[in-house]
Structure 1
């Protein structure tokens, strides 16, 4: 046999050997799902259940701010993760940046478990573009009103109560410019609280100055609000953290109620989104479906006091009007003017260039 023929023969044997199973063949490495999420969304026991069911490994990376989420996703053009959780107000820039892919609802059977308000995706701002759905609603929290039952004959039913002079010094509000400008717009009857027109800034700032004069103070963290509420016998609080604050107050022994005002409550909605760098679409869809199982979704309620998209909250009613957060017209201006408002500046100074 010539050298050329012998080399060809050996090459053929090597190719055939690679196709045949044998004792030296190695088992295929299990699939890996790369998840980017907020704390409490993918706890170890939840992840372990998914891994065991699908015989895969899940790598979870946690973030604690919208800025950190954007940095992680944008650093690699979305290639470092398969699926991530983001709120609908932020989702648009991920779509614009080609960091997110459309979702195929037909591939996620458990979507049928969701409450009607979450299945009607066209009614959720920022979730649909070009007729395609870009996220699966997962959890939410609304900014309702917490009130001391002993100080109200009837529960307050409007955000106007925050401005009630009869409650002056017994009201708590959240220290956040973006949300508070939207709140002021709602109190003025606006149906577009996330878009302040040029002619509306003056009246909105006036409204916030009135709020500053009526409240005991502004809190930042839920624990701070609980301490202030109990020490100063507060009557009414805008609950920026929703039912999380309600649970903390009740655990501390406070006799409090919770209502969604008739004007509606500002609310954030987090969705699971398919990253542009997703490597195994079927595995991602299995994860999305798993997240909507009752046992998994229920942990958001029991552990985090967050809302589940597949079961009504005891504090909410189907007819409650939740106003999902949207991107606002000018974050920088809202925050800049808010600093002036809470510093005690008068209207002319607040509105100065």
Structure 2
């Protein structure tokens, strides 16, 4: 259903009133207690543009028309700022961290499973949001969070967000699943046809499920696991392994597996569910009753940036209302700028991706890099750091 422009404006105005009453404009209170990154000076003012900016990004984040002539937000940026964009597409968070360590790049679109690693390693600098005018319109649910800030300092600008949902074949899976138990405790019903996201951060999905089903473990934050809690999550995933047909990281392969019937249930993203359904797959995606993990990407500034002024201009550009709407629709995620919902080509887009539904996001635990300092505030134990998650993931997959 398409609304005319007048109705769109009225709906957007009502939406803004609604979300402002639901906490989207109340300040965040994330804590990274005990985490003290290197003291890197924050830029105080913008200087002349250097004429170039070197970026590391996820595929679909820095489009210049070469993949699709209709999809280009780089060329207008270059014309407006004089900053020529050179972009490197990374296939994983680990690759992003490795590339940032070279010092050859000015900024990166880091997910939460990379951001604290970059901050702790001194690879990125705190960002002066006063130099980024469009930051004011970013949803407060994305500001000063545990994956993009430390001690109240922002280490980048939020790009967008999405949830890791449960997708199932509506013909093969009955009754419709309401719980992650369908891929954990009850996964044997679909032996060989279960899929899961191929990353160490998936351990948090198991921890989130255990938080609700084994209260005796006292899990508060699925990214803050002491050894006992971590071992329980790993054991659950080792048990699940016998029922997994394939771990996915390439969304096209997941769509293909659901279309062919090789996979009938597992984790997904909203954009994958939409594409799979549009290609004829009989699927549905749900946010289970336990909640879900999710991802929020942040454009972060290299501490060694050779073109910091152009990087600042890029960060402001990529979260501007129209551009952020274009990226969100192309990639398939909720935009980070509240004004972007007025700019989407599909007037229902922000509803589909729950962009303004803060109650929806309260049930999503966004990827955050696990560190020894427990992110849930505990000081009497050490939590298992990400390096151990990587090691355990190798063991889980065999």
Which stretch shows the higher mean deviation, 262-271 or 144-153?
144-153
Give CA-to-partner distance per residue, 1:33-57, whole Å, 9 cap, x none: 3131223222113121012122343
Asked if 1:43 corresponds to 2:63, the answer is yes
Structure 2 residue ranges without an equivalent (≥5): 1-47, 65-71, 212-218, 342-349, 371-383
**Structure 2 residue aligned with 1:63, among 82, 90, 103?**
90
Contact 2:53 2:311 in 1 (8 A): no
- 3-state secondary structure, aligned to 2:233: helix
Asked if 1:224 corresponds to 2:253, the answer is yes
Asked if 1:145 corresponds to 2:185, the answer is no
Q: 1:112 to 1:150 in 2, by over 3 A?
A: farther
Q: 1:218 to 1:280 in 2, by over 3 A?
A: closer
Indicate the residue corresponding to 2:381 in structure 1.
Answer: none
Indicate the residue corresponding to 1:164 in structure 2.
Answer: 186
Deviation at residue 291 of structure 1 after TM alignment: 0.8
Asked if 1:91 corresponds to 2:131, the answer is no
- After the TM superposition, which segments of 4 or more aligned residues of structure 1 sit over 6 Å from their partners? none
CA distance, structure 2, for counterparts of residue 228 and residue 265 of structure 1: 22
- 3-state secondary structure, aligned to 1:287: helix
Indicate the residue corresponding to 2:358 in structure 1.
Answer: 318
Give CA-to-partner distance per residue, 1:145-172, whole Å, 9 cap, x none: 1123445677533222323368433852
Q: 1:285 to 1:223 in 2, by over 3 A?
A: closer
Give CA-to-partner distance per residue, 1:215-263, whole Å, 9 cap, x none: 5554443233223323337543211xx1242133123202322222232
The count of residues paired between Structure 1 and Structure 2 equals: 307
Q: Which runs of structure 2 are paired with 1:283-302 in the superposition (5 Å)? A: 283-302=310-329
The alignment's C-alpha RMSD in Å is 3.0
CA distance, structure 2, for counterparts of residue 57 and residue 277 of structure 1: 18
CA distance, structure 1, for counterparts of residue 390 and residue 189 of structure 2: 26
Indicate the residue corresponding to 1:176 in structure 2.
Answer: 198
Q: 1:341 to 1:277 in 2, by over 3 A?
A: closer
Q: 1:116 to 1:230 in 2, by over 3 A?
A: same
CA distance, structure 1, for counterparts of residue 230 and residue 222 of structure 2: 12
Q: 1:293 to 1:208 in 2, by over 3 A?
A: same
- 3-state secondary structure, aligned to 2:101: helix
Deviation at residue 72 of structure 1 after TM alignment: 3.1
**TM-score, normalization by structure 2:** 0.67
Q: Return the structure number with greater helix share.
A: 1
Indicate the residue corresponding to 2:275 in structure 1.
Answer: 248
Give CA-to-partner distance per residue, 1:292-313, whole Å, 9 cap, x none: 1232112323322233212445
Q: Which runs of structure 2 are paired with 1:207-222 in the superposition (5 Å)? A: 207-222=236-251
CA distance, structure 2, for counterparts of residue 109 and residue 30 of structure 1: 17
Give CA-to-partner distance per residue, 1:97-132, whole Å, 9 cap, x none: 3332222222222223323312xx23x213222332
